Structure 1
Amino acid sequence: MKIAMACDHAGFGLKEEIKALLQKEGHEVVDFGTDSEASCDLPDYIYPAALAVGRQEVERGIFVDGVGYGSAMIANKVPGVYAAVCQDPFCAQLARSHSDTNVLCIGGKIIGSAIAAEIVKVWMATAFLADVEKYAVRVEKVKEIGRKHLVW
């Protein structure tokens, strides 16, 4: 799978660890930066990565900042992006199976390496339960809201 990755300075170390894990599992990672722990502005990296997801140039995105919420707020402004902040594997499983998210946001200041790896593995391996009508209907309602209010 082709995965966009992006981070700010607070998420750089964890992004690099997740990137290595994904590559080891055979995924192609498109890294939108940042490339160091030097202070930077989150939108400069998350926005281009979110655009790649929204334009379907990549299949999914994984974004890492201090707590995850900044990345999710930016990413969810882009049409076609459905980002969730996940702080444990259970939330990651539900974010995929019930909500069909295509972007995972993680907080590098609050999630350690081991739990982050488990979150990523679960999120990557979980399919959307499209054949369960209640989830399909809910996700379609969210997409309809986007069609009404988000424009290119």
Structure 2
Amino acid sequence: MKIAVSSDHAGFALKEEVKALLEKEGHEVLDFGPYNEEPCDLSDYVYPASLAVAEGKADRGIFVDGVGYGSAMIANKIYGVYAAVCQDPFCAKLARSHSDTNVLCLGGKIIGSALALEIVTAWMTTDYLSDIEKYTNRVDKVKKIAEKHLKKLDEIQD
């Protein structure tokens, strides 16, 4: 699977650990930066990584900032991206199985690397329960909201 990763300076170290885990598991990692811990703006990295997921250039994304919420706010502005902040493996499993998320957001300042790697593993190995109607109905409702309020990428003029 192709995984887009990005962070800001607060999430850089954890992003590097996540990359190593993903590569060890055989995934192709597309790193959108940053490439060091110098102060930077999160949106400069999460936005292009989110576009890669939305455009199908990456199957999923994992973004790391201080607490995860900044990444999720940016990512969820993009049509076709469904991002969740997860702080434990249970939430990561539910984010995939019940909500079909395609972006995982982590907080590098609030969870340690051991827990973060467990969260990544849980999220990466959990399938969406697409055969259970109550989950597909809920996900379909979220997609209808996106249809109503977000522009599709091919409708945006640069």
What range describes the TM-score normalised by the shorter chain of this pair? over 0.9
The residue that corresponds to 1:52 in the other structure is 52
- What is the CA-CA distance between 1:56 and the residue it aligns to? 1.0
CA distance in 1, matches of 2:43, 2:31: 14
Count residues with an aligned counterpart: 152
The residue that corresponds to 2:43 in the other structure is 43
The residue that corresponds to 2:27 in the other structure is 27
RMSD (Å), alpha carbons: 0.4
The residue that corresponds to 1:79 in the other structure is 79
CA distance in 1, matches of 2:3, 2:21: 12
The residue that corresponds to 1:69 in the other structure is 69
CA distance in 1, matches of 2:114, 2:148: 40
After the TM superposition, which residues 1-20 of structure 1 pair with which residues of structure 2 at under 5 Å, given as runs? 1-20=1-20
* Unaligned 5+ runs, structure 1: none
Normalization by structure 1: what TM-score?
0.99
Runs of 4+ in 1 over 4 A off after TM superposition: none
> 1:69 is matched by which residue type in structure 2?
Y
CA distance in 1, matches of 2:62, 2:90: 17
CA distance in 2, matches of 1:13, 1:136: 36
| Secondary structure, aligned partner of 2:10 | helix
- What is the CA-CA distance between 1:38 and the residue it aligns to? 0.5
* Unaligned 5+ runs, structure 2: none
For residues 39-68 of structure 1, the C-alpha deviation after alignment (integer angstroms, 9 at most, x for no partner) is 000000000000000111110000000000
Normalization by structure 2: what TM-score?
0.95
> 1:104 is matched by which residue type in structure 2?
L
> 1:113 is matched by which residue type in structure 2?
S
- What is the CA-CA distance between 1:95 and the residue it aligns to? 0.2
Q: Sequence identity, in percent? A: 72
